[in-house]
Structure 1
Amino acid sequence: MVQNNQQPLIVLADGSTRTSGSQATKNNIMAAKLLSNVLKTTLGPRGMDKMLINSIGDVKITNDGYTVLKETEPDHPAAKMIVDLAKMQEEEYGDGTTTAVVLVGEILKEAEKLIEQGIPTSTIVKGFEESKNKTLEVLDEIAIPAQEEELINVARTSMSGKGSFTNLDKMAKELVEALLNVEEDGQIDQDMIKIRKIHGEGTEDTEISECVTVDKNVLESEMPKDVKDAKIALLQYPMDARELQNDAKIKLTTPGEYQAYLDKEAQMLQDEVQKLVDAGVTVLFNNKKISDLCQHYLTKAGILTAKRVKAGDLERLSKATGANIVNDIKELTSDDLGEAGHVYEREVFEDREYIFIEDCKYAGVLNIIIRGSTKHITDQLEQAINDAIGAVIKTRQDDKALPGGGAADIAASKALRKYANKFTDKEQLVIKAYADALEQLPVALAKNAGMDTIDVLTKLLAKQNESTNMGVNVIKRDVSDMKADKILDSQNSKKAIVESATEIAGEILRIDDVVSTKPMTPVGGDMPGTPNPYM
Structure 2
Amino acid sequence: MVRKRATSYDAFAPRIRTGDRLQALFSSGSPTHTFIRASFGNTRVAKMMGPGQVPILVLSQNTKRESGRKVQIENVRAAKMLMNPIGGIIMTNDGNAILREITVQHPAAKSMIEISRTQDEEVGDGTTSVIILAGELLSAALPFLEQNMHPTVIISAYRQALEDIITILKEKVSTQVDVNNVEQMTDIVKSCIGTKFINKWSDLACKIALDAVKTVCIEEGGRKEIDIKRYAKVEKVPGGAIEDSCVLRGVMLNKDVTHPRMKRRIEKPRIVLLDCNLEYKKGESQTNIEILREEDFTKLLEIEEQYIQQICSDIIKLKPDIVITEKGISDLAQHYLMKANISCVRRVRKTDNNRIARVCGATIANRTDELREEDVGTKAGLFEIKKIGEEYYCFITECEDPKACTILLRGASKDVLHEVERNLQDAMAVVRNIMLEPRLVPGGGAVEMAVGHLLTEKSKSMMGVQQWPYRALAKALEIIPATLIQNCGGNTIRALTALRAKHASGEGYNWSIDGETGTIVPTAELKVWEPLVVKLQAYKTAIEGLRPVVRGSGLGWGAIPFGGGATAVPPRGFISVLLLRIDDIVSGSKKKDKGDGDQKPAPAAPTEESMKD
State the TM bucket, normalised to the shorter chain: 0.7 to 0.9
Hey, what does 1:23 align to over in structure 2? none
Structure 2 counterpart of 1:219, from 234, 258, 281: 258
Q: Which AA in structure 1 matches 2:471?
A: K
1:146 aligns with 2:177: yes
Q: 1:184 Cα deviation (Å)?
A: 1.9
Asked whether the equivalents of residues 76 and 521 of structure 1 are also in contact (C-alpha less than 8 Å), the reply is: no
- SS of structure 2 residue aligned to 1:299: helix
Partner residue in 1 for 2:159: 129
For the Cα contact (< 8 Å) 1:200–1:374, is it kept in 2?
yes
2:206 and 2:177 map into 1 onto residues whose CA distance is 15
Q: Where in structure 1 are there 5+ consecutive unaligned residues?
A: 1-45
CA contact (8 A) 2:272 2:322 kept: yes
Paired amino acid for 1:394: N
Q: Which of the numbers 269, 285, 308 marks the counterpart of 2:347?
A: 308
The yes-or-no answer on 1:329 pairing with 2:368 is yes
Alignment deviations for residues 429-472 of structure 1 (CA, whole Å, 9 cap, x no partner): 32331122111012223323333323432343244443422222
- 2:269 is paired with a residue of what secondary structure? strand
**What displacement does 1:103 show?**
0.9
Which residue of structure 2 aligns with residue 103 of structure 1? 133
| Corresponding residue to 1:189 among 227, 252, 255 | 227
Cα pair distance change 1:242/1:500, threshold 3 Å:
closer
Q: Of the candidates 352, 357, 381, which is equivalent to residue 318 of structure 1?
A: 357
Over residues 465-496 of structure 1, what are the superposed CA-to-partner deviations in whole Å (9 max), with x where a residue is unaligned? 43422222324554323333332111111111
Distance of aligned partners of 1:125 and 1:454 in 2 relative to their CA distance in 1, 3 Å threshold: same
| 1-structure distance, mates of 2:256, 2:176 | 45
User: Are the counterparts in 2 of residues 286 and 308 from structure 1 also a CA contact under 8 Å?
Assistant: yes
Matched pairs, number: 488
Q: Secondary structure at the match of 2:166?
A: helix
Q: Following the alignment from structure 2 to structure 1, what is the Cα–Cα distance between the partners of residues 307 and 82?
A: 54
Report the TM-score, using the length of structure 2 for normalisation.
0.72
Contact 1:218 1:345 survives alignment (8 Å): no
Q: Which moved more, 1:155-164 or 1:486-495?
A: 155-164
TM-score normalised by L of structure 1:
0.81
Q: 1:275 to 1:195 in 2, by over 3 A?
A: same
Match of 1:483 in 2: 524
Q: Deviations over 1:111-151 (max 9, x none)?
A: 11333455443332222222222222222211121223443
The structure-2 alpha-carbon separation of the partners of 1:265 and 1:125, relative to structure 1 and needing over 3 Å to count, comes to closer
Structure 2 CA distance for aligned equivalents of residues 237 and 427 of structure 1: 63
Moved more, 244-253 or 310-319: 244-253
Identity percentage of aligned residues:
26
Deviation readout 1:417-440 (Å, 9 max, x if unpaired) = 222222365433323311221110
User: Aligned in 2, Cα 1:157/1:243: closer, same or farther, shift over 3 Å?
Assistant: farther
- Per-residue deviation at 1:401? 1.2
Q: Counterpart of 1:14? A: none
Task: Look up the equivalent residue of 1:77 and give its one-letter code.
Answer: P
Give the Cα separation in 1 of the matches to 2:197 and 2:498. 30
Question: Aligned residue for 1:511?
Answer: 552
User: Structure 1 residues 341, 57: CA separation in 2 closer, same or farther (over 3 Å shift)?
Assistant: closer
Q: Secondary structure at the match of 2:461?
A: coil
Equivalent in the alignment of 1:296: 335
Deviation at 1:265, TM superposition (A): 4.6
Shift of 1:378: 1.0
What is the DSSP-based 3-state SS (H/G/I as helix, E as strand, rest coil) of the residue aligned with 1:338?
Answer: coil
Pick from 121, 132, 156 the counterpart of residue 190 of structure 2: 156
Distance in 2 (CA, whole Å) between partners of 1:513 and 1:303 is 67
- Change over 3 Å in CA distance of 1:367–1:443 after alignment to 2: same
1:257-287 Cα offsets, whole Å, 9 max, x none, are: 7777666655543433332110222111111
Q: Could you say which residue in structure 1 is the equivalent of 2:417? A: 378
Q: Alignment partner of 2:378: what SS?
A: strand
Match of 1:366 among 383, 390, 405: 405
The counterpart of 1:87, out of the listed 93, 108, 117, is 117
Shift in Å, 1:362: 5.2
SS at match of 2:270: strand
Q: Report SS of the residue matched to 2:555.
A: strand
Distance 1:95 1:242 in 2: 48
Matched residue, 1:338? 377
For 2:438 and 2:574, the matched residues in 1 are separated by 40
**CA deviation vs aligned residue, 1:261-315 (integer Å, no higher than 9, x gap):** 6666555434333321102221111111223333233222221221111111112
Find the counterpart in structure 1 of residue 395 from structure 2.
356
Equivalent residue letter for 2:177: A
**Alignment check: 8 A CA contact 2:82 2:91 kept:** yes
Report the equivalent of 1:474: 515
CA distance in 2, matches of 1:157, 1:208: 21
Q: CA deviation at 1:194?
A: 1.1
Q: Distance in 2 between matches of 1:403 and 1:359?
A: 39
Alpha-carbon spacing, 1:296–1:448, altered in 2? closer, same or farther (3 Å): farther
Aligned mates of 1:523, 1:164 — CA distance in 2: 42
Residue 343 to residue 51, structure 1, CA distance change in 2 (3 Å): same
Instruction: Give the counterpart of 1:401 among 433, 440, 445.
Output: 440
How far does the alpha carbon of each residue in 1:154-185 deviate from its partner, in whole angstroms, 9 at most, with x for none?
32233333323532023213422442344222
Number of the residue aligned with 2:589: none
Show the 5 A alignment for 1:454-473.
454-464=493-503, 465=505, 466-473=507-514
1:226: Cα distance to partner?
A: 2.3
Q: 2 CA distance for matches of 1:443 and 1:100?
A: 15
Q: Decide whether aligned partners of structure 1 residues 201 and 459 sit closer, same or farther in structure 2, where only a CA change above 3 A counts.
A: farther
Q: Secondary structure at the match of 1:164?
A: helix
Cα distance change, pair 442–335 in 1 and its aligned pair in 2 (3 A): same
Q: Is the 8 A contact 1:194 1:366 kept in 2?
A: yes
Say if 1:443 and 1:89 are closer, same or farther in 2 by CA, change over 3 A: same
In structure 1, C-alpha distance between the alignment counterparts of 2:266 and 2:290, rounded to whole Å: 41
> Partners in 2 of 1:170 and 1:400 — Cα distance?
24
- Select the residue among 65, 68, 75 that pairs with 2:105: 75
Distance 1:123-1:99 versus aligned 2 partners, 3 A rule: same
Deviates more, 1:303-312 or 1:234-243: 234-243
Amino acid at match of 2:129: T
- The separation in 1 between residues aligned to 2:97 and 2:109, in whole angstroms, is 14
- CA RMSD after TM alignment: 3.4
